[in-house]
Amino acid sequence: MKNKVYVIGHKNPDTDSVVAAVAYAKLRNLLGHDEYIACRAGHLNPQTSYIFQKFNIQRPQYIPNLIPKVEYYMPEEFETVNENVSVWEAIGRMEKTGLRVLPVVDGEGKYLSLLHYSGFAQSVLRIMNPEKRNKISTSISLIQKTLNAQPIILNHDADKTFKAFILVGSSSEKTFIERLESHSSEDLVVIVSDREDIQKLCIEHKVKLMILTSGFALNKELRELAEKNGVSVIISPYTTTPTAMLIAYSTPVAAVADKEILPVHINDTTAKIQDILKHSQCKYLPVVDENNKVIGIISEHDLLKEPNISVVMVDHNELSQAVEDIDHYKILGVIDHHRLGTLSTKYPITFINKPVGSTATLITQLYREYRVPIPKEIAALLLCGILSDTLVLQSATVTDLDVETADYLSDITNLDVKELGNEILLAGSHVSGRAADEIIRQDMKEYTEGKAVYTVSQIEVGNPKEILDRKEDFLAELEIERRSHKGLFSCLLVTDITTLSSVLLIESDKNFLPFITFPKQEENVYYLQGVVSRKKQLVPLITEQVLNYLK
């Protein structure tokens, strides 16, 4: 598979995360790097879905995990061979390309069997065993092409496959007649030299095919008789021995390929196919799609190479928030505006992290630094990313750069900042009829402090009452999240976009409760005056409480 770079945000992606992935991948594409692909590590929340629908922009590719699979390791180049091609032609193609195996396919490209040297050698030895009267599956056309022979007479059934019994006309006339008669019921292919008596006997007995060796021609009288009796005639440029040997290679490749080697699917995990490869005779496996069409080859050696995908992380830098199994791949860069986590790499990477209100702000600045005009629809997405992540430039995280960038994007798109901001906040604030677990998981991040793990979810609403009226449902789901993460606590920050304050619902280990210092509104609910930012306001405060607990 062609090398790809996945540009991807965090799990449970918010608008800024998805927008950043799309906009940065587009920037790289405009700079000539088509391998960059925008991805998302979760389903779009209602606000993000609304934005992509409003501007009629295709959603980024959904990547639920990066578990190592066949697609990420199989090489880009491969070849197949049609089932009706001769073994000679197929082996020639393998020698020319250096390939060790060739998948055999039907006319629609669907997998049938695998040609490899071990299986081929066994089949040819079986065919050429002098102690067995083996017949060769072939056709007159395949024999002619394999020998590179000059056709003299080719009957209408030249392309039809048949079981050929090979005779060499080198014995006396009497002996040869006996041999012809003993095989009268079979499709005979006779190899003859310039002996006209043998040639005439072949034609009179109406053999399937007569092959003249060493370039010898057929006289006019015998040619007319051959045409009358329906005998095909070709002239081989080789002597008798190499002609006889080459006929064994004229058999269709499907007859000698290994049918016991089953294909693997492009989405099969490498863990699944490792044992199959280990016990495979040739250490190669064909790769097929959902329609059984061959799309590649994978070998044991391929699994030892670097995968053909790498990753750029946007809007996060902590592995606990990244798509599952990202640690198997090379991280090319990080573009983020959050606190630094514990990410480490074995090699230098591009790392952009600035204290601004939105990753979309940083992506916009990259367009300007590279002097690349921002497509109007991308500018609209970037503006939405900034307005969403900063509560329409009212969050404590807002910087002068965010405001200036929002104005710049507003000029490009001719969209009013306040009007658009209120529109998208309203689109994301509807909670009526939505399940508690969906709301909690739509924008949830996992954090680690020392030995403590905790999750913080956030939802922006027009009135927290809608959440508080269903308090028990939300607390039950938070407890499920806490236990599934083996966490110290799980909480939900419910931000009121009208008052720019929040309430915090929390389920925690009972030993942590005394360390929570926020004003308590009711059981498991705390009031946070002026707190709207998870990143800049809540997480620093709650991290201090966690550290006090761990002392």
pLDDT digits (tens, 9 = 90+) for 304-326: 999 999 999 999 999 989 999 99
| pLDDT for 51 beyond 50 | yes
| pLDDT for 380 beyond 60 | yes
| pLDDT for 233 beyond 60 | yes
Which residues of the chain are in CATH 3.10.580.10 domains?
72-124+255-304
Contact 180, 205 (CB under 8 A): yes
Q: What b/e readout covers 266-303, taking b as 16+ CB neighbours within 10 angstroms?
A: bebebeebeeebeebebebbbbbbeebebbbbbbeebb
Percentage above 90 pLDDT, the chain = 79
Count how many residues are written for the chain: 551
pLDDT at 394: 92
The count of other CB atoms within 10 Å of the CB of residue 2 is 10
Q: Which segments of 134-239 does DSSP mark as H helices, in order?
A: 140-147, 173-182, 196-204, 220-229
pLDDT at 77: 87
Closest CA to 5 of 311, 210, 237: 311
DSSP state of 264: E
Instruction: State the Cα–Cα distance between residues 227 and 208, nearest whole angstrom.
Output: 12
Q: What are the tens digits of pLDDT across the range 442-456?
A: 889 999 998 999 999
| pLDDT for 209 beyond 60 | yes
Two structure tokens written together for 521: 């509104």
| pLDDT for 128 beyond 70 | no
Two structure tokens written together for 81: 């061979």
Mean pLDDT of 50-71: 96
Fold of 4-68+308-428: inorganic pyrophosphatase (n-terminal core) (3.90.1640)
Which residues of the chain are in CATH 3.90.1640.10 domains?
4-68+308-428
Mean pLDDT of 426-449: 89
Predicted confidence band of residue 121 (pLDDT cuts 50, 70, 90): low
Mean pLDDT of 57-63: 96
Contact 300, 307 (CB under 8 A): no
Residue 240 identity (one-letter amino acid): T
Mean pLDDT of 202-226: 94
Instruction: Tell me the average pLDDT of the chain.
Output: 92
Q: What are the tens digits of pLDDT across the range 533-543?
A: 998 899 999 99
Q: Does domain 436-550 have CATH number 3.40.50.970?
A: no
Predicted confidence band of residue 240 (pLDDT cuts 50, 70, 90): very high
| pLDDT for 117 beyond 70 | yes
Contact 106, 292 (CB under 8 A): no
CATH class of 72-124+255-304: alpha beta
CATH class of 140-251: alpha beta
Give whole-number Cα distances, 215 to 151, 152, 236, 238, in Å. 11, 12, 6, 7
Q: What are the tens digits of pLDDT across the range 345-374?
A: 989 999 999 999 999 999 999 999 999 999
Which residues of the chain are in CATH 3.40.1390.20 domains?
140-251
Residue 309 identity (one-letter amino acid): I
| pLDDT for 176 beyond 80 | yes
Mean pLDDT of 209-238: 95
Instruction: State the Cα–Cα distance between residues 402 and 398, nearest whole angstrom.
Output: 6
| pLDDT for 497 beyond 90 | no
Predicted confidence band of residue 131 (pLDDT cuts 50, 70, 90): very low
Q: What is the SS3 assignment for 212?
A: strand
| pLDDT for 269 beyond 60 | yes
Mean pLDDT of 72-97: 92
pLDDT at 123: 59
The count of other CB atoms within 10 Å of the CB of residue 354 is 13
Percentage above 70 pLDDT, the chain = 97
pLDDT at 359: 98
